[in-house]
């Protein structure tokens, strides 16, 4: 199976002597000089620096993995509570999810090796600057991904593995290989993959995709566009140079602000669902409404902002605060609920 997957990815992004041969999917037009510069940068990439173990950690994007594991843990705890918490299942869920995400991020590095050298933020990634060979990254990513899915399927349950598999397919094939290079919908559709970790946690403890599972999914799904729109505004010139059709590049800042407000508004009813089902209580509800209300107000302020980049910075950093606190609120609410039952 690994051979078939590797063959497909290599045919989509062929490698010859460790270098990219063809760039098929980028539709945003470059000038001839930009294309030449890109090719020169790629041609200069050589595996002259032997990869260290840190490079093999870096290529898995541990920062992204960490935040997704927190979301997975929150989803599991909301479903199981303290009374039904199974330490072994929780550990296997986190391990399987971590490996799956690590593998997917590694495959993303493999696919983006023609784009990454063009951006200041990503040009020093291990594959982009030649510390890890593309073929090595490909096999490393496939091995991690399939190992994670196997742990989830065998050690947890098939539904958890299936949800994770959907996340992998969306992130690697639909987002990285296709939409990131062709459409402004890349952020929204790619958000599906980023929203599955808490759902994995839920179905690991309660193998059923019910309204609670969808509520956890929707919170993360609605959170991501404002987060990544803000990042794209901060790095708009880098994305433009690399030919990546992010929303601010193609539609401008005004349209980006409109869509940011749209998703922050939808985040409010999405976060309410866990209270509506009776799964979480008043503490969570109050925290989610306060956090969501601040998010909406900040989004509205963007239309009168004199400095768009400063506003984008504020939105980006608040999005991190929002995600951290909303997940922490879920955990605290579960602790309050179950400790009151025990006492």
210 contacts 180 by C-beta, under 8 angstroms: no
How many Å apart are CA 81 and CA 59, to the nearest integer?
34
Is residue 224 classed exposed, middle or buried when 0-12, 13-18 and 19+ CB atoms within 10 A define those classes? buried
Do residues 227 and 202 touch, judged by C-beta distance below 8 A?
no
At residue 342 the predicted structure's pLDDT band, cuts being 50, 70 and 90, is confident
Work out the pLDDT band at 2, boundaries 50, 70, 90: low
8 Å CB contact between 75 and 198: yes
Confidence of residue 51 (pLDDT cuts 50, 70, 90): confident
- Separation CA 280–CA 271 (nearest Å): 11
Q: How far apart are CA 333 and CA 335, in angstroms?
A: 5
pLDDT at 5: 52
252 vs 255: CA distance, rounded Å: 6
Mind listing the pLDDT tens digit for each residue in 288-321? 999 999 999 999 999 999 999 999 999 999 999 9
Q: Which pLDDT does position 38 carry in this prediction?
A: 47
Architecture of the structural domain at 49-342: Orthogonal Bundle (1.10)
Q: What is the DSSP letter of 302?
A: G
pLDDT of 284: 98
On average, the pLDDT of the chain sits at 90
d(CA 114, CA 274) in angstroms, rounded, equals 42
> Is residue 18's pLDDT more than 80?
no
Q: Which of 3-17, 44-58, 189-203 comes out lowest in average pLDDT?
A: 3-17
- The first and second tokens of residue 21, run together, are 């041969």
Q: What is the DSSP letter of 116?
A: G
Q: What is the pLDDT of residue 3?
A: 52
* Phi, psi values for residue 47, rounded to 5°: -80, 55
Distance of CA 261 to the CA centre of its chain: 20
Q: How far, in Å, are 137, 144, 165, 166, 338 from residue 55 at the CA level?
A: 11, 15, 25, 27, 42
pTM of the model: 0.86
Residues recorded for the chain: 343
Asked whether the beta carbons of 243 and 28 are under 8 A apart, the reply is: yes
pLDDT digits (tens, 9 = 90+) for 205-239: 999 999 999 999 999 999 999 999 999 999 999 99
* pLDDT tens sequence across 54-67: 999 999 999 999 99
40: Cα separation from own chain's centroid:
30
Burial track 93-111 (b if 16+ CB lie within 10 A, e otherwise): bbbbbbbbbbbbbbbbbbb
Angle 253-276/282-301 helices, nearest 10 degrees? 170
* Helices marked H in the chain: 2-12, 32-43, 53-58, 62-80, 87-111, 134-151, 158-169, 180-182, 186-205, 211-234, 236-242, 247-250, 253-276, 282-301, 308-342
Alpha-carbon Rg for the chain, nearest whole angstrom, is: 21
Task: List Cα–Cα distances, 337 to 65, 280, 284, 340, in angstroms.
Answer: 28, 8, 11, 5
Question: Distance between CA 161 and CA 236 in Å, rounded?
Answer: 36
- Number of Cβ within 10 Å of residue 289's Cβ equals 14
Which residues are registered as beta bridge partners of 15?
A: 20
Q: Residue 292 has what pLDDT?
A: 98
């Amino acid at each position: 199976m690994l051979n078939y997957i590797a063959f497909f990815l290599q045919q989509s992004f062929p490698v010859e002597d460790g270098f990219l041969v063809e760039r098929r999917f980028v539709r945003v037009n470059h000038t001839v000089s930009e294309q030449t510069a890109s090719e020169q940068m790629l041609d200069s990439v050589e595996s002259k620096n032997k990869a260290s173990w840190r490079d093999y950690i870096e290529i898995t994007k541990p920062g992204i993995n960490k935040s997704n594991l927190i979301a997975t843990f929150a989803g599991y705890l909301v479903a199981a509570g303290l009374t039904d918490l199974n330490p072994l299942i929780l550990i296997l869920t986190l391990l399987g999810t971590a490996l799956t995400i690590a593998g997917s991020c590694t495959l993303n590095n493999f696919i983006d090796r023609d784009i990454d050298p063009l951006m200041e933020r990503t040009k020093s990634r291990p594959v982009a600057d030649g510390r890890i060979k593309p073929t090595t990254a490909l096999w490393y990513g496939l091995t991690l991904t399939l190992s994670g899915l196997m742990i989830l399927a065998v050690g947890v349950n098939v539904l958890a593995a299936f949800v994770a598999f959907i996340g992998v397919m969306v992130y690697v094939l639909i987002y990285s290989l296709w939409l990131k290079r062709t459409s402004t919908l890349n952020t929204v559709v790619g958000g599906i993959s980023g929203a599955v970790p808490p759902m994995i946690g839920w179905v690991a403890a309660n193998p059923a995709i019910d309204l609670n599972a969808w509520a956890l999914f929707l919170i993360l799904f609605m959170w991501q566009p404002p987060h990544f729109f803000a990042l794209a505004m901060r790095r708009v010139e880098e994305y433009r140079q690399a030919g990546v059709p992010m929303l601010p590049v193609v539609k401008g800042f005004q349209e980006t602000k409109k869509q940011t407000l749209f998703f922050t508004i939808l985040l409010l009813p999405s976060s309410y669902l866990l209270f509506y089902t009776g799964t979480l209580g008043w503490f969570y509800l109050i925290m989610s409404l306060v956090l969501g209300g601040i998010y909406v107000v900040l989004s509205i302020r963007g239309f009168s902002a004199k400095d768009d980049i400063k506003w984008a910075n504020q939105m980006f950093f608040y999005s991190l605060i929002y995600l951290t606190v909303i997940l922490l609120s879920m955990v605290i609410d579960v602790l309050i609920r179950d400790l009151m039952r025990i006492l």
